[in-house]
């Protein structure tokens, strides 16, 4: 089959890496899968024009019920939809978007949710029984080799960390600078902690996807003169994995999450995770077992201090996190699941 795959491909977003991985699964079964960025299309007619090519598409895959799904309504080409995270957590709050997403589900051959919680939420939101909604966790697909030419000290200097002492403990927040990721949530509390313990620093790394949030972040750095908090430019996936391996812990401060690829990748790389206690995070992080959940900036600081001094806790989180990704986020299981699903598009 020849399939069109629509997704938000702004690198290095979770949807982008997920789409690239799924395309690999589909193509390994002998299908042709053309991956396109939804940002390249302005209206459903732009997508429809692709279906009139000399070699037509047999089916469509799409990530995100609203951003991509709305361009497929009324399509004569069968499609399957994959929940993106912000669609089920945020976009449903808008009554108009919610109605559009319901139409998308009505026409879809199948839908995929990354967690039982996400599937349950969808069933509560829409009248149609989602018996066709499949639930399985995304794989990590991590290769732990350090990127050629990567030097930790060079990275720290590029982020503005001048005092790279051996006892430096780096907390890494990986996110696009946008409202839903709430990158400033921990800044004030962390800065206050750094003043007392200079060996701890927070590095925020990611693309400036929302200019409002990027501007707010830079203003915060300038006017409040926060100490111990640094903003680094986005890096390649290989470099990011190397940075993770050198960090003390991965941090997530999102207001809402679908299923964070950064969290799963950190677990798979043997890095402890400290994440905000929101449903998407709590679905994959079990407190004090596979990671730590916090509900306030002060609780984050308190848990961080505990993790720094409690070696047994740290080793348990690393061990259990790695085991969790190996058992529940198997790339072979994910590959078989998608290869079976695309057959429904015949």
The model's pLDDT over 185-205, given as tens digits with 9 standing for 90+, comes to 999 999 999 999 999 999 999
Strand partners, 251: 173, 274
Higher pLDDT, 54 or 270: 270
> What number of other Cβ atoms are within 10 A of residue 241's Cβ?
22
Rounded-to-integer distance, Cα 266 and Cα 270, Å? 6
For the record, the structure tokens of 322 come out as: 């790695």
Tokens of 38: 């939804």
User: What is the per-residue pLDDT for 129?
Assistant: 46
CB 4 within 8 A of CB 72: no
- The topology (CATH level 3) of 2-139+330-345 is Rossmann fold (3.40.50)
Residue 100 near residue 78 (C-beta atoms within 8 A): no
Cβ-based neighbour number of residue 37 at 10 Å: 13
**pLDDT at residue 124 is higher than 90:** no
Instruction: Answer with the residue of higher pLDDT: 312 or 224.
Output: 312
- Kindly indicate the confidence band of residue 328, based on its pLDDT and cuts at 50, 70 and 90: confident
pLDDT at 223 over 60: no
What number is the average pLDDT over the span 169-193?
A: 90
Annotate the chain with three-state secondary structure: CEEEEEECCCCCCHHHHHHHHHHHHHHHCCCEEEEEEHHHCCCHHHHHHHCCCCCCCCEEEEECCCCCHHHCCCCCCCEEEECCCHHHHCHHHCHHHHHHHHHHHHHCCEEEECCHHHHHHHHHHCCCCCCCEEECCCCCCCCCCCCCCCCHHHHHHHHCCCCCCCCCEEEEEECCCCHHHCCCCCHHHHHHHHHHCCCEEEEEECCCCCHHHHHHHHHHHHHHCCCCEEEECCCCHHHHHHHHHHCCEEEECCCCCCCCHHHHHHHHCCCCEEEECCHHHHCCCCECCCEEEECCHHHHHHHHHHHHHCHHHHHHHHHHHHHHHHHHCCHHHHHHHHHHHHHHHC
* Residue located via tokens 């690999």: 24
pLDDT for res 97: 94
Does the domain spanning 152-328 belong to CATH 3.90.226.10? no
**The pLDDT of residue 345 is above 50:** yes
Across the chain, mean pLDDT equals: 86
35 backbone dihedrals φ, ψ, rounded to 5°: -90, 125
pLDDT value of position 214: 60
Tokens of 275: 């994440």
Phi, psi torsion values for 216, nearest 5 degrees? -65, -40
Domain regions of the chain by residue span: 2-139+330-345, 152-328
Same fold, 2-139+330-345 and 152-328: yes
- Whether the per-residue pLDDT at 216 is higher than 80: the answer is no
Dihedral sign from CA coordinates of 92, 281, 61, 328? negative
Residue 132 — very low, low, confident or very high, per pLDDT cuts 50/70/90? Answer: low
Across the range 236-261, mean pLDDT stands at: 90
pLDDT band at 311 (very low <50, low <70, confident <90, very high): very high
Is the pLDDT confidence value at 91 over 50? Answer: yes
pLDDT per position as a tens digit, 14-60: 678 788 889 999 999 999 999 999 989 888 888 888 887 767 899 99
- pLDDT in the model for residue 72: 93
pLDDT score at 74:
86
Indicate if the pLDDT at residue 298 is higher than 50: yes
């Amino acid at each position: 089959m020849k399939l069109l795959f629509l997704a938000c491909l702004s690198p290095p977003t979770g949807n982008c890496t997920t789409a690239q991985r799924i395309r690999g699964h589909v193509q390994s079964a002998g299908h042709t899968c053309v991956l396109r960025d939804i940002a390249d299309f302005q209206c459903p007619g732009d997508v429809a024009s692709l279906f009139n090519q000399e070699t037509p598409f047999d089916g469509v895959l799409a990530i995100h019920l609203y951003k991509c799904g709305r361009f497929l309504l009324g399509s004569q080409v069968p499609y399957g939809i994959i929940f993106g995270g912000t669609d089920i957590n945020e976009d449903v709050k808008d009554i108009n978007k919610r109605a559009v997403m319901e139409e998308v589900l009505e026409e879809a051959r199948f839908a995929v949710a990354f967690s039982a919680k996400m599937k349950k939420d969808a069933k509560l939101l829409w009248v149609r029984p989602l018996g066709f909604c499949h639930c399985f966790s995304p794989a990590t697909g991590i290769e732990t080799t350090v990127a050629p030419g990567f030097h930790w000290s060079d990275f720290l200097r590029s982020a503005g960390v001048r005092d790279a002492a051996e006892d430096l403990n780096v907390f890494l927040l990986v996110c696009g600078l946008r409202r839903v990721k709430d990158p400033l949530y921990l800044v004030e509390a962390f800065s206050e902690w750094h003043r007392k313990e200079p060996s701890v620093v927070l590095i925020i790394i990611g693309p400036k996807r929302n200019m409002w949030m990027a501007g707010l972040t830079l203003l915060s750095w300038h006017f409040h003169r926060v100490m111990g908090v640094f903003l680094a430019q986005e890096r390649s996936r290989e470099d990011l994995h190397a940075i993770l391996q050198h960090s003390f812990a991965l941090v997530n401060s999102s207001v809402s999450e679908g299923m964070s690829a950064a969290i799963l990748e950190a677990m798979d790389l043997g890095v402890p995770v400290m994440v905000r206690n929101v449903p998407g995070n709590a679905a994959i992080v079990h407190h004090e077992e596979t990671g730590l959940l916090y509900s306030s900036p002060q609780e984050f600081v308190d848990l961080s201090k505990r993790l720094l001094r409690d070696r047994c806790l740290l080793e348990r989180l690393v061990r259990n996190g790695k085991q969790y990704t190996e058992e529940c986020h198997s790339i072979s299981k994910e590959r078989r699941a998608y290869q079976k699903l695309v057959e429904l598009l015949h």
